[in-house]
Structure 1
Amino acid sequence: MKAARFHGKRDVRIENVPEPDRARLGPRDVLVKNRFCGICGTDLHEYAAGPIFIPTAPHPYTGAQLPQTLGHEYGGTVVAIGAEVTHVKPGDRVSIQPLISPRDDHYGKRGLYQLSDKLGIVGLMWPWGGMAEYSVVNDYNVFAMPDHVTDEQAALIEPTAVVVYAAERGGVRPGSSVLVTGAGPIGQLQILAARAAGATTIFLSDTNDNRLAMARAVLPDVITLNPKTDNVVEAIRDQTEGHVGVDVALECVGAEAATATCIEAVRRQGVVVQVGLHVGKPAVDGFTLTFKDIDLRGSWCYSTLMWPRVAALIGSGLLPAEKVVTRRIKLDDVVAEGFEQLLSPAGTELKILIDLA
């Protein structure tokens, strides 16, 4: 079968690898024929500067190492199941929840699987990934999809779970005012998640006018701001009650300046949620953080139990995640039409889906 395999920085190859042997499935394994797979910002960082998360020596829990089949935002159809799998059957359309961790360590016993020190991720630290014709995952990684969730939407549940969880971490609720920094795929999904949670006034800040224009198509009443031409903090204060700033700010870039903007733009006793991953150790304005009595919170992945709820949000139309999809490509074109397009400074693409049919 074909698979997109990461070998090193800017070295992703389409290779022929053996198909999974259904006769050798473990008792709780599920064999999936992959359908759509999204290219995540994490995949893009690995391609441009990796290996970062992809292990060069065997992963301590999963045993995976280079070369790695990529892809953790995907869905497909169950082909075969292990003898102890009961919640899905061959023919079921499924979405993959890609986090892999012990069920019996400190966090696993508490259902906080995403916090395990031994965490692995399908498509990054697992022998299989979504950028291939087939994959093998654990039974707990597989969630059956209702008929009203399309195959494309099934591949969008993973990034949508990230932003739904971040909105929950921020305490976004009906009537909230919200700032999102960064108009990439996660930032644009984040404005949709904020609206789904009940936010009424939503600001989006980014330095790329192309992406801000796309955001206005995704959510027409979003208030877009460009820090190159706008005083973001003053513009937000001018449009919030009492000139105090937003209730919640969600930083979706992973940039020091964006975090600083969130701290300045949020009201006193507001909440700043760090969603984007910083590659370094940014300075944080501790004085303002204290003086304004702000909560600064991290948001790592999501609860692995969120899949049915996020699927329902997408399938119902309350959170139309498919609006961020700007291109669909074939696996053979994943480098030229996928990774390289997403790295273009023009920023004319958001979410690119690989069609594996």
Structure 2
Amino acid sequence: MNEASELTREAVTGTDSMKALRFHAAKDLRVEDVAKPPAPGPGEVLMRNWYVGICGTDLHEYSYGPIFIPTEPHPFSGAHGTQILGHEFGGVVEAVGEGVTHVKPGDRVSVQPLIMPRKGDYYSDRGLFHLSGDLALAGLSWHSGGMAEWALLNDYNVEPIPAEMSDEEAALVEPAAVAVYACDRGEVTAGSSVLVTGAGPIGALTLLAAKAAGAVQLFVSDINDTRLGFMKEMLPEVVTINPSRDNVGDVVRAATEGGVGCDVAIECVGNEHALKACLDAVRKQGVVVQTGLHPHDNPLDWFAVTFKDVDIRGSWAYPTHYWPRVIRMIASGALPASRVITKRITLDTAVSEGFNALLDPAGTQLKILIDLTK
């Protein structure tokens, strides 16, 4: 960038500050005044953030981090150390840089937060951007994140939303995309029977995505009865199972055709017992999808994998081209993502009323949104 361009960027934005929630260390999140992002350069978009969700990844960083937050400069983004959190967010475009044509100031947008080389990378060259070895993420390994008043992103990170979609729903596209991709990996289709282990936000959205894909039998397991109650309120037809009282596989087999088990089992916890329950409950030649992130090695009954002739598939994030599709699903009502919201808070209360509330073992909250307009 030449000197004139740099002066123009400074003139547009001045030296204003903004409020942001930043990660310093485990159990050390601070709401601070930081520099507002500069005016957008070529291929960049400056947006005013409106709503951001607190993700399980954010909770893990708060509890045990840094995990995904780099301690050394990221190989692509260069980000490291203190980080603005938040990768589930949406807002309104304030300014666009040269060459940006698909959005304009005033457009409401949802953020696709994956950031990576656009070419010259084996996977990116094949359109598999989410598998790039140099993958960065807004809100974890980028200079901007959703838990701030403003964000500066690449043009490919923002997708316009239609009038039919609410501002809150724009912040739910990212976790919904995780759920839709998990169902796609499991080949959920019309008439499928599906077990989801884990009644957290991703598990809840996966149930909704499975129903949108045509699944007609839905099961969910969790050791928290409060969260199972949320699932029943959200989808009255779902069969809820508490594995501390009942054997998941036995319940699923008893309810499925021929007593053989479900077609697809999707693990949304990152828990070894939940994955074993999936393998037990799925029918022969069924599919087990691993969506939750496991913190350590998980011993699995590989004899059962072979004997049952099942497929076990990972499901990492989502292809970046999913955004228009997931937006259509939510805006049309086919995937009523807003049903998972249980609380709305402000940035100033994000730690006490958000992070700590979600870590409460009682599990009285599901998805908490931070309202950045207040």
Q: Same fold (TM over 0.5)?
A: yes
Q: 1:271-330 CA distances to partner (integer Å, 9 max, x unpaired)?
A: 000000000011111100000000000000001001111011011111100000000000
Could you state the TM-score of these two structures normalised by the residue count of structure 1? 0.99
Distance 2:99 2:328 in 1: 27
Give CA-to-partner distance per residue, 1:51-108, whole Å, 9 cap, x none: 0000111111001111000000000000011111111000000000000011111111
Choose which of 94, 98, 103 in structure 1 pairs with 2:118. 103
Among 125, 128, 151, the alignment partner of 1:135 is 151
Counterpart position of 2:81: 66
1-structure distance, mates of 2:38, 2:128? 32
Aligned to 2:14: none
In the other structure, the counterpart of 2:291 is 275
Structure 1 counterpart SS, 2:35: coil
Q: Distance in 1 between matches of 2:241 and 2:158?
A: 39
Residue number in structure 2 paired with 1:236: 252
Task: Give the fraction of aligned pairs with identical amino acids, expressed as a percent.
Answer: 60
Q: State the match for 2:179 in structure 1.
A: 163
What is the aligned partner in structure 2 of residue 56 from structure 1?
Answer: 71
1:232-275 Cα deviation digits (max 9, x unpaired): 11111110000000000000010111110100100000000000
Alignment pair present for 1:8 and 2:25: yes
Q: CA deviation at 1:45?
A: 0.4
Instruction: Measure how far apart 1:179 and its partner are.
Output: 0.4
Per the alignment, in what secondary structure is the counterpart of residue 301 of structure 1?
coil
Deviations 1:124-183 (A, max 9, x none): 000000000000000000101111011000000000000000000000000000000000
Structure 2: segments with no counterpart, 5+ residues: 1-17
Distance 1:231 1:135 in 2: 47
Picking from 40, 53, 57, the partner of 1:42 is 57
Which residue pairs with 2:95 in the alignment?
80
Aligned partner of residue 343 in structure 2, secondary structure = strand
Question: Aligned ranges for residues 196-211 of structure 1 at < 5 Å?
Answer: 196-211=212-227
Corresponding position: 1:329 with 2:342: no
Map of 1:345 onto structure 2: 361
Q: Secondary structure at the match of 1:17?
A: strand
Letter in 1 for 2:213: A
Supply the distance in 1 between the matched residues of 2:195 and 2:240 (Cα, whole angstroms): 10
**How many Å apart are 1:230 and its aligned residue?**
1.1
Q: 1:126 aligns with which of 123, 126, 142?
A: 142
Give, in whole Å, the separation in 1 of the partners of 2:81 and 2:91: 24
Partner of residue 192 from structure 1, selected from 208, 225, 243: 208
SS of aligned partner of 1:129? coil
**Alpha-carbon distance in 1 for matches of 2:134, 2:248:** 40
Question: How far apart, in 1, do the equivalents of 2:113 and 2:47 lie?
Answer: 13
* Structure 1 residues not aligned, in runs of 5+: none
Shift of 1:193: 0.6
Q: Quote the offset at 1:20 in angstroms.
A: 1.4
- Distance between the aligned counterparts of 2:37 and 2:271, measured in 1? 40
Aligned partners of 1:149 and 1:204: how far apart in 2? 28
Q: Of residues 186, 190, 213 in structure 1, which corresponds to 2:229?
A: 213
Counterpart of 2:38?
A: 21
Distance 2:243 2:275 in 1: 13
State the 1:21 CA deviation: 1.9
Secondary structure at 1:341's aligned position in 2?
helix
